[in-house]
Amino acid sequence: METASARPNIILVLVDDMGFADLGVMGSEIRTPNIDRLARGGLLFSSMYNCARCCPTRAALLTGLYPHKAGIGHMGANLGTPAYQGYLRNDAATIAELMRLGGYRTLMSGKWHVGGDFWARLVDTWRVGDVDRPTPRQRGFDRFYGIIDGVTHFFSPHYIMEDDARAEVSPAGFYFTDAITDKAIGMIEESSAMRKPFFLYLAHAAPHWPLHAHEEDIAKYDGAYSKGWDKIRTARHEEMLSRNVLEQRWAISPRDEQAPAWDDVKSKDWEGQRMAVYAAMVDRMDQSIGRVLDALRRLSIDGNTLILFLSDNGGCAEFMAEDGWAKFMPDIHNDGRKIEMGNRPSLRPGGPLTYMSYDLPWANVSNAPFRLFKHWVHEGGISTPMIAYWPQRIRQPKIAHAPCHVIDLMPTILEAAGISYPREFGGSPIQPLDGESLMPLMSGKDWSRERPLFWEHEGNSAIRIGNMKLVRKFNQPWELYDMEKDRTELNNLVGRNEPLTRRLTREYDEWAQDAGVLDWNKTLPKLLKLWRMDNAHG
């Protein structure tokens, strides 16, 4: 039986490579009724920011620090400095560590990807659990089921862990989204039986490539994308405007210059099928959320459970060449059959013997109305809807437009649980939080952030103070935008406000030095050298 004074259970749901416009509540044609219901009954954050890529966002989310300060300034490779060691630093306590210290049972099901570099083709050489390969159990989680690297075959995973050991997986009937949901529900049931509050980190791999989905889910979207990416993108934008998710004055950005007009596309049926599989993956992920909600209701703990939902970066434009990916990923199914790697128009996407991505034009749809994609720190790469649902606390559902960031989740979750952030953990000093608690918003109060926001990934850089955002692509000039008037970043003000540009540049440079940001011109050659030394990169 729940009581209003009891500490809440907390579920943090992170999905992978889902764009700003991919949910029904955000104007999408993809069916996400369970997530939409959370948004209608809670807070929908329209200006939530991530860190543009898998590892950095996960590091920031788990620690409340910018990714460089957490040890993952790029991805999992160790580039020789604390900011780029490729795994979580010891002076960055995780949510799980502090929640467990505060009396919570800490659970994780899904994708880890903050514990060093792992290449799937070299799975038999992995040093899981070494000092530079920490697992969830070594960073505060009582239970874990899932993958420790960044990508998996959804039907035939190359490596699954359960707690501290590699788990055996039967190829028959396995689907990763379903499996992590089953395990998460089991963990919730265990915690409920123990009458102990829990923190669950449910980290989906969907809808990250490869495009794999159940046939019954794909069938729901048969023919849905035959009208093409231009019309779908426009329709999503118009629906967002009708729902007041976006300002009417923010014009949709033009179709990306690398995306052809739909009328010029030759393989229209195949292109539509790829997007149908992507939609099916999002659909199945929503079904997963529905199953978790059903479990909470069945256990009578739904009223005092805080659920947070968001994506790790914008939609992914990565192209999977036919001849390149067998070097990186296993091309043999667990049952011995050969997998055809890459985006091949001759093959129907979605099945277990294919390995495709949905590619740049459809990612441009996912990120409507913004520019660019995962990797970049323009709005298309760093914007995600976030939903906070907590029936006993959030009494007035609404859309919250205040700029927020994944670094804010650690202080928010700790405050919700009644846990203070310490100066030390495990007998050693830890870094002070970069994020700010969003709890005032959940209590119906006004809130605005006090500090600037910063980004850097692969030389792509940005700072936002109030309404003004200074942003640049790697090795390109700074651009300046007024986010209140022009969140789609179409009207560059950099030449019209030089004093502000200089001020923001100076503040960004000071932050970058403090965070340990490296010059990407010097860092990229080092990274490529490391990759060439790895047999997985041939």
User: How confident is the model at residue 5, as a pLDDT?
Assistant: 54
**Cβ atoms of residues 437 and 411 within 8 Å:** yes
Give the pLDDT score at 218.
99
Cβ atoms of 189 and 155 closer than 8 Å: no
Task: Return contacts of 475-479, CB within 8 angstroms, 24+ apart.
Answer: 475/521, 478/505
Encode 120-146: b = buried (16+ Cβ within 10 Å), e = exposed: bbeeeebebeeeebbbbbbbbbbbbbb
Least confident of 67-76, 163-172, 192-201: 163-172
Cβ burial of 449 (10 Å; 0-12, 13-18, 19+) is middle
From residue 333, alpha-carbon distances to 157, 166, 440 in Å are 9, 18, 49
How much is the average pLDDT of 255-270?
A: 97
DSSP-assigned letters across all residues of 262-321: GGG-S-HHHHHHHHHHHHHHHHHHHHHHHHHHHHHHHTT-STTEEEEEEESSS-------
Query: Does 525 have pLDDT greater than 50?
Result: yes
- Tell me whether strands 460-465 and 468-472 are parallel, antiparallel or unpaired: antiparallel
Please say whether the beta carbons of 318 and 357 come within 8 A.
yes
Whole-angstrom Cα distance, residue 137 to residue 404? 29
Distance CA 85, CA 72 (A): 6
CATH architecture of 9-451: 3-Layer(aba) Sandwich (3.40)
pLDDT at residue 506, as a whole number: 98
Residue 537 pLDDT greater than 50, yes or no: no
Measuring CA to CA, which residue among 108, 59, 120, 54 is closest to residue 85? Answer: 59
1 band by pLDDT with thresholds 50, 70 and 90: very low
pLDDT category at 325 given cuts 50, 70, 90 is low
Average pLDDT score over residue span 396-409 = 97
Q: How do residues 80-127 score in pLDDT, each as one tens digit?
A: 999 999 999 999 999 999 999 999 999 999 999 999 887 776 777 778
Average pLDDT over residues 46-69: 98
The stretch 500-514 carries a mean pLDDT of 98
Q: Which residue, among 234, 253, 246, has the nearest Cα to 489 in the 3D structure?
A: 253
Which has more pLDDT, 173 or 307? Answer: 307
Sorting pLDDT into bands at 50, 70 and 90, what band is 51? very high
Instruction: Read off the pLDDT of each residue in 333-346 and give the average, rounded to a whole number.
Output: 90
How far, in whole angstroms, is CA 161 from its chain's centroid? Answer: 21
The model's confidence at residue 538, banded by pLDDT at 50, 70 and 90, is: very low
Phi, psi of 471 (to 5 degrees): -145, 150
Instruction: Tell me the pLDDT of the chain averaged across its residues.
Output: 94
Supply the pLDDT for residue 512: 99
Mean pLDDT of 277-303: 99
Q: What is the pLDDT of residue 528?
A: 86
* Cα 534 off chain centre by: 27
Q: How far apart are the two ends of the chain, measured CA to CA in Å?
A: 58
Which residue is listed with tokens 């991919």? 22
Query: What band does 536 get if pLDDT is binned at 50, 70 and 90?
Result: very low
Number of Cα atoms under 13 Å in the Cβ half of residue 65: 25
Q: Is the torsion defined by CA of 149, 45, 459, 17 positive or negative?
A: positive
Average pLDDT of the segment spanning 373-401 = 97
Model confidence at 384, pLDDT cuts 50, 70, 90, reads very high
Residue-wise burial string across 177-197, b where 16 or more C-beta atoms lie within 10 A, e elsewhere: bbbbbebbbebbeebbeeeeb
pLDDT in tens, 433-481: 999 999 999 999 989 998 999 999 999 999 999 999 999 999 999 999 9
- Provide the residue type at 314 as one letter: G
Weakest mean pLDDT among 3-17, 30-44, 220-234, 369-383: 3-17
